[in-house]
Structure 1
């Protein structure tokens, strides 16, 4: 039976220039806001902290200005 990845969080391994899918899903959760982020919209993450961020503002709250 084929299982759908809809409404299931993905488990990712974040790398410096991308990420690898460890467990399939359709979204991840922001490490700051708790908001769902669709995988196709994921643009911000920390490879060091292994967490995703919803937007640049959430990223800056954790990592500070660069």
Structure 2
């Protein structure tokens, strides 16, 4: 039986122009808000911190703190 990636968190390696899937899944969790982000909706992340963000506002706030 094939395993479904539905409702499983993915593990990703974030790069400057994209990300590589290390462990298949259908979503990641925002490092700040804890919101679930579908992989097809993932637009914001930090390469240095290797974490995902749910919105541009959250990503900007994290960059300012760094």
Shift of 1:60: 1.3
Q: How many residues align?
A: 64
For normalisation by structure 2, the TM-score amounts to 0.94
For normalisation by structure 1, the TM-score amounts to 0.94
Q: Which 5+ residue runs of structure 1 have no aligned equivalent? A: none
Superimposed CA distance per residue, residues 3-44 of structure 1 (whole angstroms, 9 cap, x where no aligned partner): 010110000000011000000000000011000000000000
Structure 1 stretches (4+) deviating beyond 3 angstroms?
A: none
Q: Which 5+ residue runs of structure 2 have no aligned equivalent? A: none
